[in-house]
Amino acid sequence: EDQVTQSPEALRLQEGESSSLNCSYTVSGLRGLFWYRQDPGKGPEFLFTLYSAGEEKEKERLKATLTKKESFLHITAPKPEDSATYLCAVGNPETSGSRLTFGEGTQLTVNP
């Protein structure tokens, strides 16, 4: 069974204080690892897809990296508008077709 665990559950940062969110996963075959951002009252918004270990992707202050067991979402010099819940998910073509298995999310708060 595919499993995704995110840590920490919640993170409070001061504006400009860089940090990382972790997503650990267990799958028999990885089709892709997906990062989403979710604002209150909204649906998850797609950020990145990573397909293989060593891959990195960047968008503004966010950078996602992938190893064989985990992914990190690095946030550099965050701003209050980066406050949201960040979700990661994995797809496994061997067991689940187009299904994604989501983690519980990390709730990020950036204080001005």
Partner 1 sequence: DAGVIQSPRHEVTEMGQEVTLRCKPISGHDYLFWYRQTMMRGLELLIYFNNNVPIDDSGMPEDRFSAKMPNASFSTLKIQPSEPRDSAVYFCASSFITGGDQHFGDGTRLSIL
Out of 49, 76, 83, 107, which residue is the one contacting partner 1 (CB under 8 A)? 49
User: Residue 43 burial (CB < 10 Å; 0-12/13-18/19+)?
Assistant: exposed
Residue count, binding to partner 1 (CB under 8 A): 23
Phi/psi for 82 (5° steps) reads: -80, -5
Out of 21, 23, 27, 34, which residue is the one contacting partner 1 (CB under 8 A)? 34
- The DSSP code for 68 is S
Tokens 């940090």, residue located: 19
Would you count residue 103 as binding partner 1 (CB under 8 A)? yes
User: Where on the chain is the footprint of partner 1 (CB under 8 A)?
Assistant: 31-32, 34, 36, 41-46, 49, 87, 91, 93, 96-100, 102-105
